Amino acid sequence: RKGVLVLNFIANMDQLPEIQENVPAVLAMTEFNGGSRYADFDPDIDQVAAYGIGALIAGKLAAKAGLFATILLLLKKFWLVPVLLFGWLTKRLTGKK
């Protein structure tokens, strides 16, 4: 609900079966603070994302939002560059001087 838990096991590859065997015990030892657990979710207080897990997995929503925001920001800051580029391209394509 709040925060992130990252667990890393550092070992050799030959210890992988032992690690896989002990993962449930390690996960059972972890505990989140009160109010930060998924069980503490309150729909009246907590915000829910407007997009689903499919959008997160595909990454389309984030990529589109980031791309469009970047383009709009660049056009806003450097509006003269696209205008000059369009003029230059028009001259090159039409052959007019």
| Residue-wise pLDDT tens digits, 35-85 | 778 788 887 887 776 666 676 666 666 566 676 777 777 777 776 677 777
| Residue-wise pLDDT tens digits, 4-28 | 788 899 999 999 999 999 999 998 9
13-21: Cβ within 8 A, 24+ apart: none
| Residue-wise pLDDT tens digits, 24-49 | 999 899 888 887 787 888 878 877 76
Q: What is the rounded CA–CA span in Å between residue 2 and residue 36?
A: 5
